[in-house]
Amino acid sequence: MSEAQTQIKETVTNNDVVLFMKGTKDMPQCGFSSRVAGVLNFIGVDYTDVNVLADEGIRQGIKDYSDWPTIPQLYVKGEFVGGCDIITEMTLSGELDTLFEENGITYDKTSAEKIREANA
């Protein structure tokens, strides 16, 4: 396992929620990363952000690790959940709420419902 793969595995194992993204949760550097970070920020999820632009090894390594070609990538309790389209769909369907509840992840359900209301 490469150094990047080891670092990725440790990050997703040692943190309940991890978003591999372009930029940071406070300063996303692409629209897709901004959308996912925006959802997580709005619903108050405590998550670790990993800026793939800061390390080419991590940027390619996360794609190899998940066998998923795009960034952002969300992990919950060490499991790959998906990228922007999947997270958007799960947010709007309520599946993301269920995933967080099943894994003991704290979030603001009222804010999650506001997102669904605004997109109904």
> DSSP string of 91-110?
HHHTHHHHHHHHTT----HH
Q: How many angstroms separate the Cα of 101 from the Cα of each of 57, 67, 74, 96?
A: 33, 26, 16, 9
30 is known to lie in a ligand binding site: yes
Residues in binding site for [2Fe-2S] cluster: 30
Residues in binding site: 30
